[in-house]
Amino acid sequence: MATGDFGPPSEFAEEVLEVVEQIPPGMVLTYGDVAEVVGRGGPRGVGNVMARFGSDVPWWRVIRAGGHFPLCHEGEALARYREEGTPLLGGALDGRRVDLSRARWSGPA
């Protein structure tokens, strides 16, 4: 790209951010799934990129395996799920977890 690369994020970060941005409303992905979609790194690598550059992507749609929310943003994420209509387990009003059985998104493919 002529004008130059994106300064802060690296190639791996770009891939991760791209995938997260493409997650449609009402759906979610686990860190491990995002790593698989980008075909690089692992769950930890994705989590780290999100921690630095996730500010520009719907990070609330990226959750841990098992359907639990991010460790430091569960309150914010829960509000988004109620707005987007994401399927929640344990009662949507309580929203303790996400229903991965219905909300799991399989990448842009």
Give the residues lining the site for DNA (CB under 7 A): 8, 10, 12-13, 30-32, 40-52, 54-55, 59, 62, 64-66, 70-73
Closest CA to 29 of 7, 57, 56: 57
CB distance 59 to 76 below 8 Å:
no
Residue closer to DNA by CB (options 22, 73) is 73
Q: Shortest distance, CB of residue 82 to DNA, whole angstroms?
A: 18
Report, in Å, the least distance between residue 26 CB and DNA: 19
Pick between residue 48 and residue 92 the one whose CB is nearest to DNA.
Answer: 48
Based on CB atoms, which residue is closest to DNA, 52 or 82? 52
Instruction: Please work out, in degrees rounded to the nearest 5, the angle formed at the alpha carbon of residue 15 by the alpha carbons of 24 and 82.
Output: 25
Triad 13, 60, 92: Cα angle to 5°: 160
